[in-house]
Amino acid sequence: MPASFLTRRRQSLWAKSGPTPRLLFGSFLIATVGLFGLTRNDIFGLSFAWPHAALWGAVGWGRVGLSIRPMIILIVFGAIQDVIFHAPMGSFEVVNLMTYAASTAISAEFDVTNEPLIAIIATTLLFAGAFLLLWLMASTLEDHPVRLLPLIAAMLTTGLLYALIHKVFDLGRRPGETVGQAS
């Protein structure tokens, strides 16, 4: 039996799936985490920092280049976050889209897929930048410096969870690429 056939047969369902199912699954995961985030976040006296799950999508989906569908999904999640956090409409949309744009720009400049160190540094910078932007925006709009501790807790939770599940937000191919072209 040819070796290429065996390799193809060993491929998982996730490896074979294209950007659309991956995008849908990632969105489902973000929505699920967001839904749990709506419930009370203290259990048995312990307070949990729920992750800003939409940033996973912004960082992960941006790694394969710009595309319209992730932008729309990020805007929808941003609007939901605005309502939940009682923020002025547009705040989380800007944070999500800026992070998406930064992720795209970094992946266009550097090889984030084959260089683990660059991938880790880029991801860390993206999350730190996103939360810094959020803090700046919230402090400006609320007319006072808002508390940093909950944001840092949320950033750590978001970053740590992303490290575990980042493959879910890998779309696999750049927009317009066919299966054979994907690197």
**Among 31, 75, 76, 161, which residue interacts with another protein (rule: CB under 8 A)?**
75
Q: Which residues contact 179 (CB under 8 A, 6 or more apart)?
A: 18, 173
- By CB under 8 A, residue 161 contacts another protein: no
**Is residue 182 near another protein by the rule CB under 8 A?**
no
CB of 4 to another protein, least distance (A): 27
Is residue 62 within 8 Å of residue 174, measured between CB atoms? no
CB of residue 105 to another protein, shortest distance in Å: 9
Measured from the Cβ of residue 64, the count of other Cβ atoms closer than 10 Å reads 24
- Which burial class, exposed, middle or buried, applies to 10 when counting CB atoms under 10 A from its CB (0-12, 13-18, 19+)? exposed
163 binds another protein (CB under 8 A): no
Binding segment for another protein (CB under 8 A), chosen from 3-11, 26-34, 86-94, 158-166, is 86-94
| CB closer to another protein out of 22 and 137 | 137
Q: Which long-range contacts (CB under 8 A, 24 or more apart) does 88-92 make?
A: 88/141, 91/134, 91/137, 91/138, 91/141, 92/54, 92/134
Q: Which of 30, 33, 59, 71 binds another protein (CB under 8 A)?
A: 71
Residues 100-159 binding another protein (CB under 8 A) are: 100-101, 107-111, 114-115, 118, 134-135, 137-139, 141-142, 144, 146-147, 150-151, 154
> Is 87 among the residues that bind another protein (CB under 8 A)?
yes
CA distance 96 to 134: 10
Nearest alpha carbon to residue 93 among 80, 107, 112: 80
Six-digit token string for 51:
């992750």
Binding window for another protein (CB under 8 A); candidates: 4-12, 25-33, 79-87, 165-173: 79-87
Q: Which residues bind another protein (CB under 8 A)?
A: 38-42, 45, 66-68, 71, 75, 78, 83-91, 93-94, 97-98, 100-101, 107-111, 114-115, 118, 134-135, 137-139, 141-142, 144, 146-147, 150-151, 154, 175
